Chain A
Amino acid sequence: ILNVEQSPQSLHVQEGDSTNFTCSFPSSNFYALHWYRWETAKSPEALFVMTLNGDEKKKGRISATLNTKEGYSYLYIKGSQPEDSATYLCASGGSTLGRLYFGRGTQLTVWP
């Protein structure tokens, strides 16, 4: 079992604020790190898949970094908007094919 931790558990920010949250995972047997965005009553939506140490990925105002040696990833949102309100999940794929270990998620609320 891989222990994937996310912090904070929840976050409330004002529209326009930039924010970031953390995902930590065991660095041994690392395979891939995934970030998902999950809006209420919808499917989790894949944001990024990251595999290489030092990887940085960007999609619009959202970006993510990866440090496989120390076992953490950061997700950044620049200029948060109310539509960014969702739960952000990270998952680490271990050495067992097909298995993703998820964190509990960070619930982000952006107030107008």
Chain B
Amino acid sequence: ETGVTQTPRHLVMGMTNKKSLKCEQHLGHNAMYWYKQSAKKPLELMFVYNFKEQTENNSVPSRFSPECPNSSHLFLHLHTLQPEDSALYLCASSQDIRSTEAFFGQGTRLTVV
């Protein structure tokens, strides 16, 4: 247990659906991250939040919409996704963005059909 919990673990959604991924951390960290891992590609940073404020958007399409209501929770809202968005989505947290030591959740395996 890393102290970072993601739900759901698996998600299958149609291209017209709207769904959300949830991440919660119990580590008292102030920075949270969304990463994406597509097949045979490195982990790719999507969004960074520091003290609830978004500090980085790595040119992610607007069909992915993050939300950070407080330092412990991070959401990724999904709408009108494409099959190529199927991937493993990992959430991570760190003390703050100056601390690069990140603690990861187990990920959500997303399949878009």
A residues neighboring B (CB under 8 Å): 4, 31-32, 34, 36, 41-46, 49, 89, 91, 93, 96-105
Distance in angstroms between the alpha carbons of A14 and B100 in the assembled complex: 34
Nearest Cβ on chain B to A75's Cβ, whole angstroms: 16
Which of B4, B41, B45, B55 interacts with A100 by CB under 8 Å?
Answer: B45
Which of A41, A43, A99 interacts with B45 by CB under 8 Å?
Answer: A99
Stretch at the interface among B60-68, B76-84, B104-112: B104-112
B94: A residues at CB distance < 8 A: 98
Q: Is the CB of B90 within 8 A of A44?
A: yes
Q: Is the CB of B41 within 8 A of A32?
A: no
B residues neighboring A (CB under 8 Å): 2, 4, 31, 33, 40-45, 48, 50, 55-56, 90, 94, 97-98, 100-107
The 14 sampled A-B contact pairs (Cβ below 8 Å) are A36-B104, A42-B106, A43-B2, A49-B100, A93-B100, A98-B55, A98-B56, A99-B48, A100-B45, A100-B100, A102-B44, A103-B42, A104-B42, A105-B42
